[in-house]
Amino acid sequence: MLTEDITLSIDIDRNRHPVSALAEAHRRHRWLQHVLPPHCLHCQAPGLPGLDLCATCWDELPWNDTACPRCGLPLPHPAPACGACLKRAPKITRTLAPLRYADSVTQLLPRFKFHQQLAIGRMLAKLVEHVVLADGIADGMDALIPMPLHRKRLAQRGYNQALELARPLGKSLQLPVRLDLLHRARDTAPQTGLDARARRRNLRGAFVASPSVKGMHVVLLDDVITTGASLREASQALLRSGAAEVRALAIARADTPKHR
Ligand SMILES: [Zn+2]
Ligand SMILES: [Zn+2]
């Protein structure tokens, strides 16, 4: 029996005050954690202890072990930077994306991002935690900033996937999660299907940073980095408002810098 089936069969107390779908999902998940042993969210096999992923799926994970330290781009060999970053150093000083956007990750991340499967987000955060801690990306940093969603998009989706990742990762990194430092000022068309130039145009002026970020060293957090256009635009807004340093963290990074 799949978790979804079990979830549906839980008798929800209909007399309680109405709660948002998200709060309900959190409540169900917490309940399920008590009654179900870990099970793989990718293939449904029994999970590793304390992790909703099985040993086989773990062994097949596309770790992004040799990546450009500046932009996180997967590289065939370790190097101080990729070609693009050597040519023009990005404003973001460091990027860490522990996984490549490949194999199982291309199925897990969209299920988390677009289909309200928040348990996948928690599993992914737990999955990359050891890499994030070992890397030291948060050393000397002041805050973790999840990439903001425009309120219209937030209302449609019901949650911000970056914030769902920021909560557990902020706790592991002992970094305060700050939602007040960066805002999405403008709703933008979905980036999917746009080339890099169109993405940049689409994002112009999309982010506004608070003056409170002045002098701060911050880590921007997103679920996946495709071309990096959103992170670049957001980092520029933070730097314009006086941030001392911006680093970036994501669960996964796309292999090829499409139309960069
Ligand atoms: Zn599995
Ligand atoms: Zn690079």
Query: For residue range 180-195, what is the model confidence (pLDDT) as tens digits?
Result: 999 998 877 677 777 7
Q: Is position 151 within any domain?
A: yes
> Length of the chain in residues, anyone?
260
Strand partners of residue 182: 209
pLDDT tens, position by position, 107-144: 999 999 999 999 999 999 999 999 999 999 999 999 99
CA of 195 to the centre of ligand 2 (A): 18
Proximal ligand: closest to the CA of 66: 2
Structural contact between residues 202 and 188, judged by C-beta atoms closer than 8 angstroms: yes
The contacts of residue 110 (CB under 8 Å, 6+ apart) are none
For residue 23, how far is the Cα from the chain centroid?
A: 20
Q: Is position 38 within any domain?
A: no
Proximal ligand: closest to the CA of 94: 2
CA of 169 to the centre of ligand 1 (A): 23
Instruction: Give how many domains the chain has, as a whole number.
Output: 1
Q: Say what the pTM is.
A: 0.84
Q: Is position 90 within any domain?
A: yes
The contacts of residue 143 (CB under 8 Å, 6+ apart) are 175, 176, 177, 178, 181, 216, 218, 219
CA of 36 to the centre of ligand 1 (A): 16
Q: Is position 25 within any domain?
A: no
Would you state the pLDDT for residue 19?
A: 56
- At position 230, the amino acid (one-letter code) is S
Calculate mean pLDDT across residues 145-171: 94
pLDDT tens, position by position, 206-245: 999 999 999 999 999 999 999 899 999 999 999 999 999 9
Nearest CA among 112, 122, 105, 146 for reference residue 52:
122
CA of 50 to the centre of ligand 1 (A): 14
145 is in which domain, residue-wise?
A: 62-253
Q: What are phi and psi of 95, to 5 degrees?
A: -135, 135
Would you state the pLDDT for residue 1?
A: 39
CA of 70 to the centre of ligand 2 (A): 5
CA of 258 to the centre of ligand 2 (A): 13
Structural contact between residues 146 and 166, judged by C-beta atoms closer than 8 angstroms: yes
Q: Is position 36 within any domain?
A: no
For residue 100, how far is the Cα from the chain centroid?
A: 13
Structural contact between residues 51 and 123, judged by C-beta atoms closer than 8 angstroms: yes
CATH of the domain at 190: 3.40.50
Residue 236 exposed, middle or buried by CB count within 10 Å (0-12, 13-18, 19+): middle
Confidence tier at 203 by pLDDT (50, 70, 90)? confident
Would you state the pLDDT for residue 11?
A: 38
Structural contact between residues 213 and 246, judged by C-beta atoms closer than 8 angstroms: no
Q: Is position 153 within any domain?
A: yes
CA of 83 to the centre of ligand 2 (A): 7
Per-residue tokens: 89: 């150093």
Q: Is position 12 within any domain?
A: no
Confidence tier at 205 by pLDDT (50, 70, 90)? confident
Q: Within the chain, where are the H helices?
A: 3-9, 21-35, 55-59, 83-87, 105-114, 118-135, 151-157, 161-173, 196-203, 229-240
Q: Is position 55 within any domain?
A: no
Residue 38 exposed, middle or buried by CB count within 10 Å (0-12, 13-18, 19+): middle
CA of 104 to the centre of ligand 1 (A): 9
For residue 56, how many C-alpha atoms fall within 13 Å in the half-sphere facing its CB? 8
CA of 39 to the centre of ligand 1 (A): 8
